[in-house]
Amino acid sequence: MNAGMAILLAAVPEGRVFGLDQQALITIGIQLFNAALLAAVLSYVLYKPVRKFLRNRAERISAQLGRAEGETAKAGELKAQYEQKLEDIEEERAAILEEAHRLAAEKSRKMLADAQSDAADTRDRALADIQAERKRAQEEIRLQIIEVASIMAEKYVTQAMDADTQDKLFAETLAELEGAAWQD
C-alpha cells in the first residue's frame, strides 16, 4: 500500500495538493457508480416499505381526523341538545314561578276576602248582640219604671185617694205605660 501512495504522490506535481489525472477520475467515477448503485439498491429495498409506512400513516391520520370530525359532530349535537334542555328547563322554571306567583296572589286575595268576611260577620254579630242587649236593657228599664211608678202611685193614691179612684188611676197609668213606644 505504501507503494500505491508513493505512486500517487509522485503523480502530483509539485505545489499542488490534488491532481486531476486519470487515476483520480477513475476513482471518482467508481465512487459515483457505487453511490448510484447504493441509492438504487436502497430505493428498491427501502422505498416500498417506507412508502407503505407513509401511506399507512396517512390513512391512520385520515381515519383519526374522520373520527375526530364525527366526535365533534356528536359533541355539537349533544351541546345543542343540552342547550335545548336548558332552554326548556328555563321555560319550565319561568312557568312554575309564574304559576306560584298566581297561586300566591289568588291565595292572598282569598285570605283577604275571608278576613273581610269574618270581620263583617263579627261586626254583624256584635251589632246584633248590642241590639239585643239594648232591647233587654230597655225592657228592664221599662219594668223598673213601671215598678217605681206603681210604688209612687200606690203611695200617692193611698194617701190622697179612695180605693175606687186608686183602681181607676192605676188601670189608666198601666195602659199608658204598656202602650208607650220606647225610643232607641
Segments making up each domain of the chain, as ranges: 2-179
| Stronger pLDDT, 94 or 2, i.e. the higher one | 94
pLDDT grade, residue 184 (50/70/90)?
A: very low
| CB burial string 84-99: b at 16+ within 10 A, e below | eeeeeeeeeeeeeeee
Query: Tell me, what's the pLDDT at 183?
Result: 45
3-class secondary structure, 182: coil
The predicted structure's pLDDT at residue 161: 66
* pLDDT tier for residue 8 given thresholds of 50, 70 and 90: low
Note the pLDDT of residue 85: 92
The tens digit of pLDDT for each residue in 153-168 reads 777 766 666 777 778 8
Phi, psi angles (nearest 5°) of residue 15: 90, -5
Query: Residue 64's pLDDT is what?
Result: 93
Concatenating the DSSP letter of every residue in 104-167 gives: HHHHHHHHHHHHHHHHHHHHHHHHHHHHHHHHHHHHHHHHHHHHHHHHHHHHHHHHH--HHHHH
In the predicted model, is pLDDT for residue 12 greater than 80? Answer: no
* Residue-wise pLDDT tens digits, 86-138: 999 999 999 999 999 999 999 999 999 999 999 999 999 999 999 999 998 88
Which tens digits make up the pLDDT trace of 52-90?
888 999 999 999 999 999 999 999 999 999 999 999 999
Pick the residue with more confidence: 72 or 20? Answer: 72
Rounded to the nearest integer, the mean pLDDT of the chain is 83
The whole-number pLDDT of residue 171 equals 82
Contact by Cβ (8 Å): 170, 150: yes
